[in-house]
Amino acid sequence: MSHLVLYGGYATGWAKRGDAEGLRRYQAIVELIRLGWGTDNIAFRQVFTSRFAPGASAQQLEWFNELCRRTTTPEIAAHLMLARSEIDVRELLRQVKVPTLVIHAVEDNVTPLSASRELAAEIPNAEFVQLESRNHVLLEDEPAWSHFKEVVLEFTRRGVQSTTAGQAAWLDTLSNRERDVLGGLVAGRSNAEIAATLHISDKTVRNIVSRIFEKLEVHSRTQAVVFARDHGFRAR
C-alpha cells in the first residue's frame, strides 16, 4: 500500500469514547433496529439512515431505506452496530507508515469530528481536511463532494510521485553484484541458473536475493521483478 485515505473514520466506537450520552443515543438506535429494521414502516430505519445524509432528498432517503432493508436482517444489523461500538484500535495508529489523509465532514452526525481529529493526531504525519457538510454520505450536488474529490486526487497524485521517486532511488543502493542478480530475476532465471551465469554458489545467490528484497522493500521474486520493470531497471 503506497498511501491511505480515511474518510469519516474513527479509532474508537461509542462504547470506548467516554461519552455516556452519545452511547445512550447509539444504543437506542440499535434497539430500534432490532424492533423495526425489517418492517414495511420506514420510520425505524430512517432514524438510522437520516443520520448519514440529513441533506438528502426524500427520494434518496427512500432508496437508502430500502437498500438497508434488503441488505441484512434486523439481528445482523444490530449485531454489527454493537460490534462497531466496541472497536478500539488506538494502539495501532502509530504503526501506520504510509502517507495518510484524514477527511471529515464538520457536522457529520454519524461520527463526531473529534474522532477523525484523533486519527490524524495519532497517525504519524497524517494530513487532516475538514469538509463543510453535515452529510456523512456526501451528495453529488454539494460543494463538499467536489472538495473531497479535489483533495483526494491531489493527495494520491503527490503520493505516487513521491513514492515512485523514492523507489527509483532505492535501485541506486544496489551493488553491482545485486544488480546482476536482479537482472537474472527479471530475465526469469532460477537461482541455480543465475549462480551458473555469475560463477557463484546457489547459497550466495539466495543471500543476495534476500538483500535485494530488503532494499527494495518487497517480499517475493514476482514483486522484485515488477518493481524493477516499473522503474526502468536495466541489467548491466
CATH dotted code for 173-230: 1.10.10.10
Kindly report which listed range (37-46, 50-59, 141-150, 157-166) carries the lowest average pLDDT score: 157-166
Q: What is the DSSP letter of 95?
A: G
Segment 60-88 mean pLDDT: 93
Q: Quick one: pLDDT at residue 167?
A: 53
Task: Give the pLDDT score at 234.
Answer: 73
177-190: pLDDT as tens digits: 999 999 999 888 99
Give the residues across from 104 on adjacent strands: 130
Domain boundaries, the chain: 4-13+88-167, 14-85, 173-230
Residue 2: band (very low, low, confident or very high) from pLDDT cuts 50, 70, 90: confident
Fold of 4-13+88-167: Rossmann fold (3.40.50)
Work out the average pLDDT over 223-236: 79
* Joined grid coordinates for residue 164: 515512485
For 119-134, what is each residue's pLDDT tens digit? Answer: 999 999 899 999 999 9
Mean pLDDT of all residues belonging to the chain: 89
Q: Give the pLDDT score at 84.
A: 95
pTM comes to: 0.65
Q: Look at residue 177 in the predicted model and tell me its pLDDT.
A: 93
Residues facing residue 12 across a β-bridge: 88
Q: Are 23 and 84 in contact (CB under 8 A)?
A: no
Q: What is the pLDDT averaged over residues 58-77? A: 91
What are phi and psi for residue 4, nearest 5 degrees? Answer: -135, 135
DSSP 3-state assignment of 24? helix
- Answer yes or no: same fold for 4-13+88-167 and 173-230: no
Residue 187 burial (CB count, 10 A): 12
Distance CA 172, CA 219 (A): 19
